[in-house]
Amino acid sequence: MATLIQLKARRTVTALGLILAAVALLLAACGGDDSEATPTATVPPGQPTAAAEPEGYAHPELLAETEWLAAQLTRTDLRVVDVRERQAYDAGHIPGAVWFDRTLLKDPDDKLHVVRAELFAAKMGELGVGPATEVVIYDEGTGLWAARLWWVLNYYGHDHVRIVNGGWAKWEKEGRAATKEVPAVQPAVFTPKPDPNLVCSIDEVKQFATSPSAEVVLLDVRSQAEYVGADVRAARGGHIPKAVNVDWTLSLTEGDPKVWKPAAELRALFEKAGIKKDSTIITYCQTGVRAAHTLFTLKLIGYGQGNRLYDGSWAEWGNRTDTPVEQ
């Protein structure tokens, strides 16, 4: 028979165990200090769970915030490029910025496809863009034309490029330094190295449109009116069969200046359209400009893999007679 002391000892151990268990349950229910910073998504029954998505951009280095840029302007390895209209550049621009004629982003002969390598290389060399140059691009504010130049630079092998978030509109609204002085530039050697994996031909798009693949998504980034054929900007209106529509402007905040929306909102935008994160996404618009903007957005949030631009876009597809169209 157990002594009185032994019984008391057993009761003490049991009570201590119950207290420790209760504390463990309480901690599990409350979580740590970071519990609200990393919320978990609700997964429907029967669906596998996935690793938590990062809350921020996958590639924040693609954006140049105005505060950051203001502190970088004296760098000799930095080239700021203004792709607004020449009149706007002459009226005032970011100190040290050079002007680039955005009409040169398309082939001057067919107006459909990317500018030829030798022409682009010559222009970049004139602007002092060499292999070690970090290029920072800005436009009026939406990033539309800046994204087109970003894509062309990437296509020709130069990926050390940022876009000013909010562009000139944000820079000016914040009262930052501006000048009318055109900087003297030391020419450089720009060696183009085209990457065919970044562009999609019309024949490839035909194949995806007529023989859909679960891994490939055709993404029409034009307005809904263009997508359904109400706004016709070619011989025919409508969209490429099987293409889904996400207007490029939905990636930006409302009001002025416009900046890219938070990463979580951007991911939700594409998820809502039924686009999976591991898909290969082929974007198109009318002339490959808006489509480049969406490619930038997808890259920014790390959405899709092996994404490509159908450069001919609707200006090519909608004016051909051998291409299927849906409305």
d(CA 182, CA 135): 17
Question: What is residue 60's DSSP assignment?
Answer: G
Q: For 99, phi and psi rounded to 5 degrees?
A: -100, 135
In whole angstroms, what is the distance from residue 142 CA to residue 46 CA? 41
- Tokens 């080239």, located at residue: 79
The Cα 72–Cα 78 span in angstroms is 8
63 strand-pairing partners? 163
Q: Terminal CA-to-CA distance of the chain, rounded, Å?
A: 90
Beta bridge mates, 163 = 63, 137
Give the separation between CA 265 and CA 72, rounded to whole angstroms: 29
CA distance 31 to 28: 5
Q: How far is CA 214 from the centre of its chain?
A: 22
Catalytic residue IDs:
285
Cβ contact 153:114 at 8 Å: no
